[in-house]
Amino acid sequence: MSKAKAFWAIYTSVAISYLGVGLVAPLIAIVLAERGANSFLVGLVGTTMFAAFTLASFPAGAATDRIGPKPVLIGGLVVYGVSILAFAVIRDVWLFFFARAIEGAGAAAISVATETMISQMSEPHERARRMSYYALSVGLGWAAGPMTGVLLFGIGQELPFYGGFAFSLAAALLALLFIPASTSNSQREEKILSVFSARLVSPIAAGALYGYLMSSMVTLFPLYLKAINIEEKKMGSIVTAVIIGTLMSQVPIGRAADRFGKHRTLLICSVALAVVFALMPVRSEWGFFIASAALLGALAGSLYPIGLSMIGGAVSSERLGAATSLFSLAFGVGSLTGPALSGFAMNHLGDKWLFYLPAGLTAAFCLLLANTDDREEAASV
């Protein structure tokens, strides 16, 4: 099989699996509420998935280096599908904690294995572009899921979960048949943290910042819009603008990173992102938020694929699984802490700190990049 066909098999399997994610993610809270869970319990169940994702990143990375990414990916897809199927059949609320923990572990295996595989198969001059295609596949699959899920939910409450299970198994089958087998890279056990080096600080920080921004904005942005009297229909269009901006920016930014340098491109995008965050509280018109939300999605969307592509150039191939798991760990920690930090700032300093705090954190990330040596890219730029 040619390398191009192998990449498309990876992208397709990822899109199919994340179609299943988008299919059920918005419905789990509804099912929990019907089982008698209050909003606090719903939030705890959601946090369980992110916590399991974070904790499972280390063993997923170790397994990827030890046995290769393909079996880890297939196993992760099967485990994830089984966890989704469980939501259709379990009735006790406490079992949802268990199911979401399994879901998080499966999602970690999928992410670490896929990202490692793409890094291993990519040449240095194309790594950011390949990662941008991966991020685009994730986004397209996730975006297509909710509408399909709502339609199926109207027919039967179990159907979206059966569908998510079927999509995960289909993705696993596609990976089994069309993604090339990979051999073990690591002949010895080593601690995951031993792979850490100064060259990984910037990409790992990018993963943490992206997780923080994604989780805090998804959770709290609607509350801010409601506070400034943006009606619900317009809220939906603003959130859609973020998604569209993210999807449309992936490939151009990935190509720019490969051509002009990953470090340089990420720095430019991050400076612009900090400016956008600082300006968003200044105005409250719907049209302004549409434009700024699209820019926000486009610029923030650069953090994930470029950060991952920088990891691929910072460590040897046999240690990519461990390094990628550090990125996933940072993303998970950012996702876990984002809503709490931003919510605390909004409660004590005012609603506008939903934007001022990420503006400050992004500016600090820019300073980190500006003071980081990027000579490792010289050979590939």
Integer CA distances (angstroms), 179 to 71, 174, 175, 205, 355, in order: 10, 7, 5, 30, 42
Q: With contact defined as beta carbons under 8 Å apart, do 133 and 251 qualify?
A: yes
Query: Which whole number is the average pLDDT over 31-36?
Result: 78
CATH C-level class of 3-181: mainly alpha
| Percent over 90 (pLDDT), the chain | 23
- Does domain 194-377 fall into CATH 3.40.50.800? no
Average pLDDT over residues 265-276: 95
Q: Quote the distance between the C-alpha of residue 211 and its chain's center.
A: 7
Give start-end residues of each CATH 1.20.1250.20 domain in the chain: 3-181, 194-377
What pLDDT, on a 0 to 100 scale, did the predictor assign at position 373? Answer: 61
Asked if residues 11 and 133 have their Cβ atoms less than 8 Å apart, the reply is: yes
Q: Rounded to whole angstroms, what are the CA distances from 355 to 20, 78, 345, 349, 351?
A: 31, 39, 10, 12, 8
Average pLDDT over residues 303-314: 85
212-224 pLDDT, tens digit per residue, is: 998 888 777 777 8
- Whether the CA torsion 257, 260, 263, 266 is positive or negative: it is negative
Q: What number is the average pLDDT over the span 176-202?
A: 68
pLDDT at position 233: 67
DSSP single-letter state for residue 192 = G
pTM across the whole model: 0.77
pLDDT in the model for residue 58 = 83
Q: Which two three-digit tokens encode residue 72?
A: 């880890």
- From CA 218, how far away is CA 158, in angstroms rounded? 26
Asked whether 209 and 334 are in contact (CB, 8 A), the reply is yes
74 vs 17, 86, 169, 172, 187, CA distance in Å? Answer: 11, 19, 9, 5, 22
**pLDDT over 80 (residue 41):** no
